Amino acid sequence: MVDQLDTPVRSDIPAPKTKPRRSPDSTAGLLAKILLLGLTDAFAVYVLMALFMNEKWTILAVATAVTVLINWIYLRRGGLPAKYLAPGVLFLLVFQVFVVVYSGYIAFTNYGDGHNSTKDDAISSISMSAQKRIPDSPAYQVSVVEKGDVLSLLVTDPDGGVRIGTTGEPLADVDGAELGSTGKAVGAEGYRTLTFNELLGAQQEITAIQVPLGEDLDEGILQTADGSNAYVFKPVLVYDEAADTFTDTESGAVYTDGGEGSFITADGERLATGWKVGVGFENFERAFTDPDLRGPLVSVILWTFAFALGSVLLCFGLGLFLALTFNHPNLRGKKIYRTVMILPYAFPAFLAGLVWSGMLNQEFGFINASLFGGADIPWLTDPWLAKFSVLLVNTWLGFPYMFLVCTGALQSLPEDVNEAARMDGASAWRIFRSIKLPLLLVSTAPLLISTFAFNFNNFNVIFMLTGGGPRFSDTNMDIGATDLLITLVYKVAFGQGSGRDYGLASALAVIIFIIVAVISAVSFRQTKALEEVNS
Amino acid sequence: MKVHTTGTTAPRRRALALGAVSVTAALVLSACGGGDAADNADSTDLASAGATTLTMWVDAERSPALTEVTAQFKEDTGIEIKLVTKDFEQVSDDFITQVPTGKGPDLIVGPHDWLGKFVLNGVVAPIELGDKAADFQESAVSAMTYEGSTYGVPYSIENIGLLRNTDLVPEPATTMDEVIANGQDAVATKGAEFPFLVGMDPKQGDPYHLYPLQTSMGVPVFGTDEDGGYDATKLELGSENGAAFAAKLKEWGESGAGILNSNISADIAKEKFNAGASPYFLTGPWNVPLAEEAGINVAVDPLPTTGDQPAQPFVGVNGFFISSKSQNSLAATEFALNYLTTEAVQDAMFEGGGRPPALTASFDKAAADPIVAAFGEIGANGVPMPAIPEMEAVWADWGGTELALIKGQGDPAESWATMVSNIEAKIAK
């Protein structure tokens, strides 16, 4: 990045003498510069401090470098291109590069359901869930009292006895207990009772108090979650910090860190809550070796290409045809027609998918019931018809865009070329094929490529219209005839039983990214040839 | 419209560029810092940080019912509860991803079947209801219990029942065969269009609504362990009566009697029932108000049986959960245990959402309405929807197989067996 910004640029452009407009050196410009840079820096300092407190050293270093760089770019004289480039480059880094790099990183982890956070989180959450109330044990009323810095629980037994205890010190008798109106002990000699607000101030410490019921830990531990009631708990799993293991208090089974982001016994018994770890190429391997995926993957890839290509051709064909028609100089009411044509474009795609899904209902849908006089055509449930329906709806959704683009491009074509051709006696078709279309393609080809890329990943239409169905019968997975790669990723990663698997999803997404990137690169190279028509 | 536009349009004024940079810089910095830098575990004790706010994620429907109790809580304790309205479809996923970052809410409202995933990801804290547990309907508390620990404060229970248009069929029936006979009679003599309605997804089927018919033939999804929780290793779908139920589906389906029609989506079913086109509609309490508004005389019948077992619907329990990383767990527990469990709140939640309350006292009041009472009675006979994460492996195959059978495709015994082995394979993964 620095290299790019650092390129020597002629900096000292003499200021134009004619108009004292708001140049960089005018007072207002300078003030605006100071103000905005000040705001940026203030925010940066806040973020840097937060990062420092949380000891995120790498990110801190990067953030500091970025802040310094921004200041350097805007404070020094000259370097105009850098000043214009900086925002663009930063946006690119944040919205493109960061996302791609982060997805790439996730693809090499086991991030997903059950592997959601750090190991510390997993340990604390397992310990928390492992505390089970001893069945039918009584509830104790408690008050939180303080002596010195130590918080203790003043406990009133269900039968009225009052005792006190704190973490590590079992319940013991207490002197001078002061009882409230309900018979609950609210104070004791030598102790200060915490008010409700003080309780709120010390929430973490209070919920962490664990008072042993007696000398024998097996009797259980008193714990309170609200500062006024306590229950007897006994852990079913105990964490041993030194050995980094959980032990089952009943069976004695020992769960150790298996290296794959969860605690596991020697016989493969696993604690459900795990944490995120790197897994290398495992996710990519699964994408290519899972027997349930391999088979359908080929037909899904073929259909994805067919769908994306078909969508582009149909949308472009229809859009171009209509654009040509409505571009005829003698046509009246062009504006109205054009407005009507653009309507589908104004529809949100997922909504349109749902509406069409209703209209294509085999028995009650508008298409069968009204247009085909009550015919029984399985639009969405026959594999080939479903494919056809998906293409049809996507064309309906997509042609207005192409219509707009083509209309614009047509109108910018020079009229004299047309006329010259006509003078030479060329037919309308010949003019279209040899002059208009090539000129049109120069400007629309990049859009066709991006439309292809978009439809390659057109999740909305498929998901809302057919849900990927009808299902293939030769796989265990919920994959069907109209599934694109992207819906397949969604289903495989988020709906197949083992819960969501962001790692696998990212790995598949990276694969799709590579496919689309390669196609786009090749196509853009090809379109260069088109541009030569122009020069 | 010019098609070729390049990205490098130079802003006219320096100020603009600078503005863009400051925004971008902010984004870069926050994006860098966002991921895992928010773990500010030691800075949010209420008193020390001066913060007196709890955050609670709710959906739009429930938010109004809670404003009063949050105001009361603020008056009593000085703690404000910020109700953040979230999209229901997104909220559980957001909760799972945000709690570990420390940015999640302190409390969340949701159905109990999210629980398994929450526990698997370690994002909810257990909550001990203590004596209060006895004030709730038993099924509500058991639904909130997962692997022996209770995790939520329940507030409503919902399940499906059989709506009957009393103008078309005056008397209740007890078995599915009688229901079908009555329905066909209504079609033949009273101008009804469909003997029986149930909303299906034309692409995925609807095992949820058909479940009582299945259980009455003795085919639950999962068996239970000694604590009464579902046991993922005991997939009961494959029990011997499964094939019999599959055969029934085909018999009722489009190639048979036409009682079940995969093209009738939930919307179409509702529309047809409200138009008086069918005497029966297998659905939940949420569709009753609209039917009554449409002028249908609705009665709620017990679910009809097919086999010799009781017809048990899935019971869904909604409740409040506390985040495992809440920095204000004591305040959140105080609010959940002592405020959300009151009769007034449970009454208000019922008035707001129309779902039968989980608190027995509130339910008894609500049951003055015969519709609520009828659904409640059916629910008392139901089983909690499995909250175990393995349930996710079941839905797609289960629905797909039922759909195929209803469409008249495949051999019942064979496709049911394939479904069972597919699900078993997925769970084993």
Task: Note whether B126 contacts A498, CB cutoff 8 Å.
Answer: no
pLDDT tens-digit map of A137-161 = 888 888 888 888 888 888 888 887 8
User: Closest approach of chain A CAs to the CA of B358, in angstroms?
Assistant: 22
| Residue of higher predicted confidence among B323 and A478 | B323
| % chain B with pLDDT above 70 | 88
Confirm if A157 and A140 have CB atoms less than 8 A apart.
Answer: yes
Considering only CB atoms, B330 lies closest to which of A59, A226, A409, namely: A226
Task: Note whether A497 contacts B393, CB cutoff 8 Å.
Answer: yes
* Other Cβ atoms closer than 10 A to B66: 23
Confirm if A96 and A513 have CB atoms less than 8 A apart.
Answer: no
What average pLDDT does range A465-473 have in this prediction? Answer: 83
| Residue of higher predicted confidence among B414 and A341 | B414
| Residue B380 pLDDT exceeds 90 | no
- DSSP lists the bridge partners of residue A212 as A221
Q: Is A362 on the interface with B (CB under 8 A)?
A: yes
What average pLDDT does range A102-120 have in this prediction? Answer: 89
Instruction: Please give the pLDDT value at position B46.
Output: 40
Its pTM stands at 0.79
| % chain A with pLDDT above 90 | 13
What average pLDDT does range A446-453 have in this prediction? Answer: 89
* Other Cβ atoms closer than 10 A to B9: 8
Instruction: Please give the pLDDT value at position B297.
Output: 94
Q: Distance of CA A222 to CAs A128, A232, A520, B56, B328, Å?
A: 14, 5, 65, 28, 20
| Residue A83 pLDDT exceeds 50 | yes
Task: Note whether B119 contacts A74, CB cutoff 8 Å.
Answer: no
**In this complex, how many residue pairs, one in chain A and one in chain B, have their CB atoms less than 8 Å apart?**
266
Least confident range of A219-223, B211-215, B311-315: A219-223
| Residue A532 pLDDT exceeds 70 | no
| Residue A3 pLDDT exceeds 50 | no
What average pLDDT does range B49-53 have in this prediction? Answer: 58
pLDDT tens-digit map of A389-428 = 999 999 998 899 999 999 999 888 888 888 888 888 888 8
Instruction: Please give the pLDDT value at position A87.
Output: 83
Instruction: Please give the pLDDT value at position A516.
Output: 85
Buried b (16+ CB within 10 A) or exposed e, A465-498: bbbbbbbbeebbbbbbbbbbbbbbbbbbbbbbbb
| Residue B82 pLDDT exceeds 80 | yes
| % chain A with pLDDT above 70 | 93
| Residue B20 pLDDT exceeds 70 | no
Average pLDDT value over all residues in chain A: 84
DSSP per-residue string spanning B144-201: TEETTEE-EEEEEEE--EEEEETTT--S--SBHHHHHHHHHHHHHHS--S-S-EE---
Residue to substitute from A5, A45, A270, A381, interface B, most B β-carbons within 10 A? A381
Instruction: Please give the pLDDT value at position A533.
Output: 55
Task: Note whether A202 contacts B47, CB cutoff 8 Å.
Answer: yes
Residues in A closer than 8 angstroms to B427, CB to CB, are 497
What average pLDDT does range A80-86 have in this prediction? Answer: 84
Instruction: Please give the pLDDT value at position A530.
Output: 67
Q: How many Cα neighbours within 13 Å face the side chain of A11? A: 12
Instruction: Please give the pLDDT value at position A310.
Output: 95
| Residue A19 pLDDT exceeds 60 | no
| Residue B23 pLDDT exceeds 80 | no
pLDDT tens-digit map of B389-400 = 888 888 888 998
Least confident range of A341-350, A502-511, B117-126, B159-168: A341-350
Task: Note whether B14 contacts A44, CB cutoff 8 Å.
Answer: no
User: Closest approach of chain B CAs to the CA of A192, in angstroms?
Assistant: 18
Least confident range of A15-24, A68-77, A126-135, A212-221: A15-24
| Residue B282 pLDDT exceeds 70 | yes
Q: Is B121 on the interface with A (CB under 8 A)?
A: yes
Q: Is B16 on the interface with A (CB under 8 A)?
A: no
Closest residue in chain B to residue A206, using alpha carbons only: B330
User: Closest approach of chain B CAs to the CA of A393, in angstroms?
Assistant: 17
| Residue B14 pLDDT exceeds 70 | no
Instruction: Please give the pLDDT value at position A6.
Output: 43
What average pLDDT does range B172-189 have in this prediction? Answer: 93
| Residue A278 pLDDT exceeds 80 | yes
Q: Distance of CA B7 to CAs A4, A455, A513, B24, Å?
A: 17, 23, 22, 16
Using 50, 70 and 90 to split pLDDT, how confident is the model at B221?
very high
Instruction: Please give the pLDDT value at position B256.
Output: 87
Task: Note whether B117 contacts A116, CB cutoff 8 Å.
Answer: no
Instruction: Please give the pLDDT value at position A23.
Output: 52
Q: How many Cα neighbours within 13 Å face the side chain of B427? A: 21
What average pLDDT does range A270-298 have in this prediction? Answer: 84
Average pLDDT value over all residues in chain B: 84
User: Closest approach of chain B CAs to the CA of A261, in angstroms?
Assistant: 12
Closest residue in chain A to residue B95, using alpha carbons only: A116
Distance CA A140, CA A128 (A): 20
Using 50, 70 and 90 to split pLDDT, how confident is the model at B202?
confident
